[in-house]
A = this chain, B = another copy of it.
Amino acid sequence: MLDRIGMMLPLIQAPMAGVSTPALAAAVSDAGGLGSIGVGATDAGGARAMIDELHARTARPFNVNFFVHATAKSDPVREAAWLDGLAPSFAEFGAAPPAALRTIYTSFADDRAMLAMLLETRPKVVSFHFGLPSADALAALRECGIVLLATATSLDEARAIEAAGIDAIVAQGIEAGGHRGLFDPAAPDDALGTVALTRLLVRETRVPVIAAGGIMDGAGIAAALALGAIAAQLGTAFITCPESAADDGYRTALAGPGAHHTSLTPLISGRPARALANRFTQLAAHLAGHTPPDYPIAYDAGKALHAAAKAHGEHGYGAHWAGQGAPMARAMPAAALVATLAEELAAARSSFGSVVAGVTTVQL
């Protein structure tokens, strides 16, 4: 599987729409990992431009990630109530909430132009989050030789991915930063951690598994491999690279003591996502009686509130997505980070071998 993609290291840089850039993904791919971009927040034209830039920047394979969420249903009453709930926060920065909210992203499932663009640009790897496209879309991508990945947070989702003929499953543990890949955010969530989820998927499916969530260094990658994963996917570890699109407020928050506190919240975008605890996640108490609008309609309000606050120098309403490993993030260029991760992985391998040899020879 890694050979088919052409990866030299068992390491994927997570897509992170809005944070990853073609420069970041190219640097990771050039260094031997698999770089990714997330294009769920743009349209076919925007995605094409990013893919073209990536093709220009690197000859190595890379991954392009899509959101495959259910079509958002507008509910003007709920949206108006939500904006009322946020109004005091806007008022703090002398701003009014937007008059109405828009569906700012189109699901890949509803976007034939995006599929057509993909069949032309043919990135080596395509991955899906929040669900799966139709069988005909998958067949068309497969016919182009594109390797397909999809995220699962549970065994049921993994079984759906296996049944769809996807090439590898990203096992996203509850520790992971950003949007949780739940197919149905309204269904109960068993909130499985990376260790249990990865083992379950490795044991119960026949599809290669990529472990994600809480992994920040070579020891974490080594642990993912020990669990039977073919690779580890790291997101938060790459936010602090200079090549990412994270703004200064986000970088400052990640570098501070607040990195020890993340929160899984649907308040920012309308779907559960893990972010650094900040003024936005703290609105939970204040908004307890409200139901956020559908994803990504709620995110239109979230982005507007962040913009209003940021204009006044307040960065506490940013969507500071981060996983539980955030305190271990390192600010270094992506190529240097990948080289460091590779060295750490090799070191973990040798120390792991000696520990196990020393301890188990007595017994075995």
Contacts and interface: CB of A to CB of B under 8 A. Distances in A.
Interface in A177-205: 188, 190-197, 199-200, 202-203
Nearest to A342: B363
Interface centre among A196, A323, A324, A348 (most CB of B within 10 A): A196
Interface string A1-30: 010000111100000000000000000000
A193 B214 contact: yes
A328 B203 contact: yes
Given A219-B227, A226-B223, A227-B220, A195 B196 contact: no
Interface residues of A, number: 64
6 contacts: A188-B261, A195-B215, A199-B219, A222-B227, A226-B348, A349-B357
A213 B325 CA distance: 16
A262 B174 CA distance: 14
B349 A356 contact: yes
Interface in A246-273: 260-262
Contacts of A342: 360, 363-364
Interface string A341-364: 011011011001101110110111
Interface in A209-232: 213-217, 219-220, 222-228, 230
A32 interface: yes
B222 A195 contact: no
Contacts of A192: 175, 214, 324
A155 interface: yes
Given A225-B352, A349-B353, A195 B174 contact: no
A2 B226 contact: no
A175 B225 CA distance: 19
A356 B226 CA distance: 10
Contacts of A154: 260
Interface in A50-90: none
B193 A173 contact: yes
A255 to B, nearest CB: 16
Nearest to A175: B193
A109 B77 CA distance: 55
Contacts of A227: 219-220, 222-223
